[in-house]
Amino acid sequence: MRMRRKKLIAVLLCAEIVLSFAGCSKKKDPVSESKLSKNAPATVSEESSDQKDPSDTSAKAPSESTSESTAAPTATPLPSATPIPSVTPRAASYFGEFQPYVISDVMKDYLGEENVQDYYNFCEAVLAEKDSFPCHSFEGYSDAYYLLSRSFFPYGYDAVCCPEESDFKDGVAKIRYEETKEWRQQHYNELKEATEKIVSEVFREEYSDFEKMIALYQYFANNYVYDYDMNHVIDGYREVYLPLMKKTGVCNEFSGAYAFLLHQVGVEVDFANGNINEGSIGHRWNIVRLDGEYYFVDTTWALSSKSLRYFLMDTDQRTQNGTEFSEGIDYTDAPVYDENNLQITSRKYSELWDALSFEVDYDHDLIRYSVLNDEGKVVEKEFHY
C-alpha cells in the first residue's frame, strides 16, 4: 500500500462540469475514496482557469472565426466492443489509427493492475453503448471516470455522467449517459475526424518522439488562439474538443489536447499544475518523457509565438529561476511524481530556449534557429538532435 500525502478533494473531477448539456447535468463528486479523485488539483478548474504568460503583450484575443460552427462529419457507427486488452489499451496498435482512449505509463503504474483494468472495461463499455461493465470496486469506477477528466478519454467525458456510489454493486458498475444516442454518435465522429486530421497533418510515422513533440508544439503555436473570454463551452464543445474543433481554449484544454494527440502516436505525456504567484489562479501544462528524462512543455504560453522558450523546460526554466510558480509545482494531478520526488534538471535543449524563431529540418535531424548575440544582432544557428 503506498503512502499517501494529504489529499485535496477534486474540484476538477465533477464540479467543473456543471456546464454540462441536457440529461444528468448535475454531476456530483463520487465518494472520495478514490485514489485519484482525492489527489485532483484544486488550482485548476472551469471557474478559475489559467493565466496567459504575463510577459506576453503581443497575444490577441481569439478571432471571430473561432466561434463559427463546424459541420458534423458523416455518421459512422461507434466501434463494436472488442476483447479487453490485459496490458495496454488499444492505444498502441499502429500509427495513424484513432485511439478513443489512452493512458500514460505513470498512471498505469500508480493505479495498479485492477484499477487500470476497470478503466479499460469502462471505456470499452461506453464505446459499445453498454449500460454496465464489470468493475472491481467503486474506487476503480471513480478512478476510471477521473481519467476522463484528465483528457484520456475525451468522448467518454462528454458521453457519460459522473458516477455515484449507488451506481456500483456486487462487481458491476452502472453507466448513465448524457444526451441522446444520436448526439453521442455525432460527438464521437467529430472527435475521431478532428484527431485523425491533425495526426495526418502534423506527424510522419518515422518521426522520433522529439520530432513528434516539437511538430505538435509548433502546430499549436501557429494554429490556436487563447480564449480570453474563458467561454469553456463554444457551440457545445468543451475541454479537448475546444482546441480540436474550434482552435481555441485555455490551459486545461490545450494541455489536454496536447497530451491526447501525443498519446495517439505513442509519446509518454502527463500534466503539472501551479500558480504563477501567490493568490493567482491556477495554470496547467504538460510533462513529457524523452530518452529517459522528464521535461515540461507549455503550449498555452507558446501560442502565437515563434520561439521555443516553453519547449522541453527544466524546473529552473519553468519557474524563471524561482520568480514564477514560487509556491511550487503541483503534481497532485499525477501523484506518483510527488511520491518519487521528481526532479526535472536536464538542460539538454536549453540553447533552444532563446530562439527568436526556428525551423525544423526533419530530413537532416536539425533545427535552424535565430538568436540575439551579445551585440544585439540576430544570428542564425543550428541544433543537431
Specify the range with the lowest mean pLDDT, choosing from 98-107, 217-226, 232-241, 259-268: 232-241
pLDDT of the residue at 149: 83
More confident of the two residues 15 and 277: 277
Cβ neighbours, 10 Å, residue 289 = 16
* Dist. CA 142–CA 297, nearest whole Å: 28
Please give the radius of gyration of the chain, using alpha carbons only, rounded to the nearest integer: 20
Give the 3-state secondary structure of residue 179. coil
Question: In sequence order, what E strands does 76-159 have?
Answer: 132-134
Would you give the end-to-end CA distance of the chain in angstroms?
Answer: 41
The pLDDT tens digits for 8-29 are 223 334 333 332 333 343 233 4
Beta bridge partners of 359: 368
**30-44, 94-108, 146-160 — most confident range:** 146-160
Cα distances (angstroms) measured from residue 206 to each of 63, 267, 364, 382: 35, 13, 13, 22
* Dist. CA 52–CA 15, nearest whole Å: 23
pLDDT of the residue at 236: 78
* Dist. CA 170–CA 115, nearest whole Å: 16
pLDDT of the residue at 87: 44
- Furthest-apart CA pair in the chain: how many Å? 72
Give me the residue spans of the domains in the chain. Answer: 15-42+69-182, 205-348
What is the CATH code for 205-348? 3.10.620
- Contact by Cβ (8 Å): 263, 297: no
Which residues, other chains included, contact 244 with Cβ-Cβ below 8 Å and sequence gap of 6+? Answer: 191, 194, 195, 198, 257
**Cell for 245?**
474543433
* Dist. CA 195–CA 213, nearest whole Å: 16
* Dist. CA 198–CA 217, nearest whole Å: 12
Beta bridge partners of 372: 378
122 closest CA partner among 131, 109, 113:
131
- Contact by Cβ (8 Å): 254, 304: no
The pLDDT tens digits for 49-82 are 455 654 554 443 333 333 333 333 344 444 444 4
Give 346's pLDDT tier (boundaries 50, 70, 90): very high
Cα distances (angstroms) measured from residue 53 to each of 178, 229, 284, 302: 36, 16, 12, 9
Give the 3-state secondary structure of residue 205. coil
What does the pLDDT average to over 247-259? 96
* Dist. CA 3–CA 348, nearest whole Å: 33
pLDDT of the residue at 195: 97
* Dist. CA 207–CA 189, nearest whole Å: 27
**Cell for 28?**
456530483
Specify the range with the lowest mean pLDDT, choosing from 92-106, 231-245, 248-262, 270-284: 92-106
Which residues, other chains included, contact 345 with Cβ-Cβ below 8 Å and sequence gap of 6+? Answer: 314, 315
* Dist. CA 151–CA 144, nearest whole Å: 12
